């Protein structure tokens, strides 16, 4: 049953990519292969670089994925596997993929500018500053949180430390062979992947752990230095080749889990059935499923962070405009597949250690006994890793080394994706700060090194407010709603854009209305909760963000009315 649901999800994703994605590409946005892209127009060999569409897809997918499509479904499954599967499959196709694709194309047609910068041209100058404030706030939290998360993951999976860091020289070597020596991308990417898995095998025997109680803080310093260097290097030196390796690494990991599930199905179907309930409307301590399901599962359905990657880095690397379908729409579909795989691992593979279905149900019930018991980072990631390893064990057995190797494979996969998000978020924050510097005539802030330093150092200060680098956790409760607010606002910009271009605005408009309602609902409930619990900081910030959202919507409504009245011309922008 569980495996069948996953296979049906795969079929749905592939069909909708072909037909609905094709419809949006050809009929709504009308992609034109003859239109010059920013990568060619502003080719600087650093940020603007025309690139093979599969390499851009690898960068884009690994940047938007991160840990989002893992931790979101792994916690939302507490409400039941049916709501999780429905939101992932429908949200990905009709909301998330449209959101990512629209942001990418609009940026492509406007010199690779970020969605925040483009808000000026599409809605108005006031709206731009409101949007940029929300973007900076989100990225500030993301950089601090993901650096901390990587430090925690290195402590959880010390066998993954060596492979993750050795991936950097492997990626640089791949870049040299492909971009400098002009060797075959296909051949050398496979060589790089094999080297990567060789380091994983070595990592099982060479775990690296920083001793003492300040390990996370030490990792935080190291990772912030890395983020500064990685996000200022030319994209083809490290970002593109590393993300391309990561995309292959993900496909291998997903393939192993899929094959493990297939073997388990034939060996003993009872060992791989759903152990999670289909519906669980009132789990202990959990907020109501409406609207919080749509905030908890963000990546894997729709996420505002994706618009920052689409219009921040990916739009600067697209070679030909039609490549946007694979990168923007296809990247989100791939994330939906990953989220569906997580549901399979957590809802069916979790606890399936060969002791039968009843053992799996018991293990699941213990892990998800309450919202609090399943809410921690270790609990979320641990459930996915355990479920995945259990399914792979049906192929390879349960020996100590094999189980350690498979755990390390999943650990490296998770940490690598977290690193990609950290790198991309830092690079995008640098773009945002440079745009702010340009607008405010602060020339020093337009320098990429100065802007990157501000991005990294401000996030570091946020992280170090609390011991263990956990300062960003103070603001983390706001992240889910702010992230989905950003998604709603990006769809709002896309709606206005399509209306002004006299295309079909409902493609973005209907998803936008849904996301505005769900996000505003969740934000309102959270603000009331912060007030009742006396959390003044979150109450004030949450209220300010809520007001900004209402303000932006009003600005957009004013523009839409002008479009309807015919006082705005579509020729005013691309």
User: What pLDDT digit, counting tens, does each position of 132-147 carry?
Assistant: 888 888 899 889 988 9
- pTM equals 0.85
The whole-angstrom distance between residue 112's C-alpha and the CA centroid of its chain comes to: 20
For residue 492, pLDDT beyond 60: yes
> Strand (E) positions, 22-69?
none
pLDDT attached to residue 355: 47
Name every residue whose Cβ is closer than 8 Å to that of residue 240 and which is 6 or more positions away in sequence. Answer: 49, 51, 55, 56, 58, 59, 175, 317
If one looks up domain 2-572 in CATH, what number appears? 1.20.1740.10
The residues that bridge with 318 in the sheet, in sequence order, are 51
Cα-based distances in Å from 447 to 138, 297, 442, 454, 523: 22, 36, 10, 11, 36
Angle in degrees, CA 484, 463, 412, rounded to 5: 75
Residue 374 has pLDDT above 70, yes or no: no
> What CA–CA distances, in Å, run from 297 to 55, 213, 481?
27, 32, 11
The predicted structure's pLDDT at residue 399: 80
More confident residue, 573 or 258: 258
For the chain, which residues make up each domain, given as ranges? Answer: 2-572
Q: In the prediction, which pLDDT does 365 show?
A: 73
Q: What is the mean pLDDT of residues 241-250?
A: 87
Q: pLDDT of 503-544, one tens digit each?
A: 899 999 999 999 989 988 999 998 998 899 888 888 998 898
């Amino acid at each position: 049953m569980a495996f069948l649901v996953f296979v049906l999800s795969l079929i749905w994703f592939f069909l909708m990519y072909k037909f609905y994605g094709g419809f949006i590409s050809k009929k709504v946005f009308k992609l034109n292969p003859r239109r010059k892209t920013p990568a060619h127009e502003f080719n600087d060999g650093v940020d603007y670089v025309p690139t093979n569409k599969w390499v851009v897809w690898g960068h884009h997918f690994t940047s938007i994925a991160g840990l989002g499509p893992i931790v979101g479904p792994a916690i939302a499954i507490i409400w039941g596997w049916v709501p999780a599967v429905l939101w992932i499959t429908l949200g990905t196709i009709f909301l998330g993929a449209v959101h990512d694709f629209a942001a990418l194309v609009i940026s492509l047609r406007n010199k690779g500018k970020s969605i925040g910068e483009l808000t000026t041209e599409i809605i108005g100058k006031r709206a731009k500053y409101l949007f940029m404030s929300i973007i900076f706030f989100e990225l500030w939290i993301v950089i601090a949180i993901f650096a901390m998360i990587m430090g925690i993951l290195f402590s959880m999976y010390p066998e993954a430390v060596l492979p993750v860091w050795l991936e950097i020289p492997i990626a640089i070597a791949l870049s040299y062979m492909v971009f400098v020596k002009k060797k075959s991308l296909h051949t050398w990417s496979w060589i790089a992947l094999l080297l990567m898995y060789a380091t994983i095998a070595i990592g099982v025997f060479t775990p690296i752990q920083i001793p003492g109680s300040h390990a996370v803080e030490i990792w935080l310093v190291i990772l912030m230095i890395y983020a500064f260097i990685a996000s200022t290097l030319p994209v083809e030196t490290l970002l593109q080749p590393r993300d391309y390796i990561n995309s292959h690494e993900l496909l291998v990991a997903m393939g192993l889990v899929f094959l493990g599930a297939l073997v388990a199905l034939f060996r003993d179907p009872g060992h791989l059935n759903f152990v999670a309930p289909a519906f669980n409307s009132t789990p202990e301590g959990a907020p109501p499923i409406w609207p919080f399901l749509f905030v908890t599962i963000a990546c894997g359905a729709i996420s505002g962070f994706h618009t920052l990657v689409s219009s921040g880095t990916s739009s600067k690397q697209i070679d030909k405009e039609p490549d946007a379908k694979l990168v923007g729409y296809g990247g989100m579909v791939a994330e939906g597949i990953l989220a569906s795989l997580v549901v399979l691992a957590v809802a069916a593979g979790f606890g399936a250690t060969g002791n039968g279905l009843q053992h799996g149900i018991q293990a699941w019930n213990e892990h998800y006994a309450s919202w609090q018991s399943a809410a921690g980072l270790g609990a979320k990631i641990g459930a996915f890793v355990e479920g995945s390893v259990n399914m792979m064990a049906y192929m390879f057995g349960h020996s100590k080394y094999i189980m350690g190797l498979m755990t390390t494979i999943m650990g490296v996969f998770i940490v690598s994706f977290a690193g990609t998000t950290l790198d991309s978020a830092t690079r995008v924050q640098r773009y945002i700060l440079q745009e702010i510097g340009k607008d405010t005539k602060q020339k020093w802030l337009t320098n990429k090194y100065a802007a990157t330093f501000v991005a990294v150092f401000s996030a570091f200060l946020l992280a170090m407010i609390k011991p263990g680098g956990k300062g960003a956790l103070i603001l983390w409760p706001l992240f889910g709603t702010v992230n989905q607010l950003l998604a709603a606002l990006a769809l709002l910009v896309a709606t206005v854009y399509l209306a002004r271009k006299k295309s079909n605005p409902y493609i973005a408009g209907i998803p936008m209305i849904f996301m505005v309602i769900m996000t505003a609902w969740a934000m309102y409930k959270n603000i009331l909760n912060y007030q009742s619990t006396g959390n003044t900081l979150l109450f004030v910030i949450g209220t300010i963000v809520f007001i900004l959202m209402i303000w932006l919507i009003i600005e957009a409504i004013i523009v839409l009315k002008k479009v309807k009245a015919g006082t705005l011309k579509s020729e005013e922008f691309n």
